């Protein structure tokens, strides 16, 4: 039985990488996908391709750092499809640099996108899920939310540790209401994240690392589908996935 079919799944950061791969896979499995990202042209192209393959998709321009945008994304999903079964808080940025470089503006942006974006998504979707006693919130952390790498990833790790804490607290709070919470901790996965560093030294190191280790975005999409397709009384709370040869 395909338990993904007919579910309404909202995905942030859906214009590329993990979000795009997840949208394509879930739509192929029969889900109705609502695509959120800032680049509306890419979202509309993806939605059109999904529709051409017999799927159902809605594109909504969304900046996850804006609470109003996140509320609009969820309300657009409800208006179009009548409900939201799953929220995938995928949008994130990774501008790596040593703390001594004092990239304070980038610290602020990571906090806005990686932490506030997740919280705004939860705030937008949780009331409806509590009311229906049904739903699934999937948050993308990182292996950097489990360990801190020396030198360039401290603030990024801090934001991803925050996602871990938010997810675990939410899980403990809402599980009794029939709401499932899943946190994913991916390692080096092909995406645009690796292009986010303005610091030349960190950017070169990260690109070299990803060239040596990265696996396809489909690997994360399959893990998300696995979590969603479980029976309603089963919650896959955490999934860590890395390239087989990646140590960190």
- pTM (predicted TM-score): 0.94
What average pLDDT does the chain have?
94
Cα–Cα distance for residue pair 96/116, rounded to 1 Å: 19
State the fold for domain 8-241: Rossmann fold (3.40.50)
Query: 192 Cβ partners below 8 Å, 6+ apart?
Result: 16, 17
Cα–Cα distance for residue pair 45/238, rounded to 1 Å: 32
Around Cβ 75, how many Cβ atoms within 10 Å? 14
Domain ranges of the chain: 8-241
Which residue in 156, 185, 210, 213 is the catalytic one? 156
pLDDT digits (tens, 9 = 90+) for 106-125: 999 999 999 999 999 999 99
Q: Any alpha helices (H) in 31-135, and if so which ranges?
A: 40-52, 67-81, 104-110, 117-132
Query: Is-catalytic flag, 120?
Result: no
pLDDT digits (tens, 9 = 90+) for 188-245: 888 877 777 777 777 777 788 778 888 899 999 999 999 999 999 999 999 999 998 8
Cα–Cα distance for residue pair 114/92, rounded to 1 Å: 5
């Amino acid at each position: 039985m395909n338990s993904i079919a007919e579910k309404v799944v909202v995905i942030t950061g859906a214009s590329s990488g993990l979000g795009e791969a997840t949208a394509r896979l879930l739509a192929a499995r029969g889900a109705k996908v609502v695509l959120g990202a800032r680049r509306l042209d890419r979202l509309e192209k993806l939605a059109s391709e999904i529709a051409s393959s017999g799927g159902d998709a809605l594109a909504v321009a969304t900046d996850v750092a804006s609470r109003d945008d996140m509320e609009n994304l969820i309300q657009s999903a409800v208006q179009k499809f009548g409900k939201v079964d799953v929220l995938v808080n995928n949008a994130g940025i990774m501008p790596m640099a040593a703390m001594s470089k004092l990239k304070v503006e980038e610290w602020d942006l990571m906090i806005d996108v990686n932490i506030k974006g997740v919280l705004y998504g939860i705030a937008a979707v949780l009331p409806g899920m509590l009311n229906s006693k049904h739903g699934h919130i999937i948050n993308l952390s990182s292996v950097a939310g489990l360990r801190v790498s020396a030198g360039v990833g401290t603030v990024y790790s801090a934001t991803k540790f925050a996602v871990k804490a938010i997810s675990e607290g939410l899980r403990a709070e809402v599980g009794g209401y029939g709401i499932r919470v899943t946190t994913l901790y991916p390692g080096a996965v092909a995406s645009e994240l690796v292009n986010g560093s303005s610091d030349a030294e960190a950017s070169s190191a990260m690109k070299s690392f990803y060239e040596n280790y990265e696996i396809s975005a489909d690997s994360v999409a399959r893990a998300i589908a696995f979590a969603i397709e479980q029976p309603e009384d089963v919650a896959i709370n955490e999934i860590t996935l890395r390239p087989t040869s990646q140590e960190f």
